Amino acid sequence: MFNRVEAQIRSILKGTDYLQVNVDGLAEDADLYAAGLNSHATVNLMLSLEEAFDIELPDRLLRRRTFASIKSISEALAEVGVKEEQA
């Protein structure tokens, strides 16, 4: 079962055509770039995450590895203060 933050990330990914695979079948540590995420989609994903969680990701987190997996995105969101009850 997914936690709320992870479920929200998956929901955002599902509502796009960023990935070439079904997001429900991805493990939390699956490589999103191998699943089809590209640099343009990463920027759009970042904007969607910032809007959904009402946050702004700091420059230090705007790296490929931040968006490499659902787990790494979730960890970055936790780092900027997103809690389960916000999802």
Going residue by residue through the chain, which has 87 residues, state the pLDDT in tens, using 9 for 90 and above: 568 999 999 999 998 888 999 999 999 999 999 999 999 999 999 999 999 999 999 999 999 999 999 999 999 999 999 987 655
Residue 66 lies in a domain: yes
Whole-number Cα distances in Å, 12 to 18, 60, 64? 10, 22, 18
Residue 87 lies in a domain: no
Residue length, the chain? 87
pTM comes to: 0.92
Q: Which domain holds residue 35?
A: 4-82
User: How far is the C-alpha of 11 from the C-alpha of 29, rounded, in Å?
Assistant: 16
Work out the angle at residue 74's Cα, subtended by the Cα atoms of residues 25 and 33, and round it to the nearest 5 degrees: 55
Work out the angle at residue 46's Cα, subtended by the Cα atoms of residues 43 and 47, and round it to the nearest 5 degrees: 90
CATH code for position 41: 1.10.1200.10
Q: What's the structural domain count of the chain?
A: 1
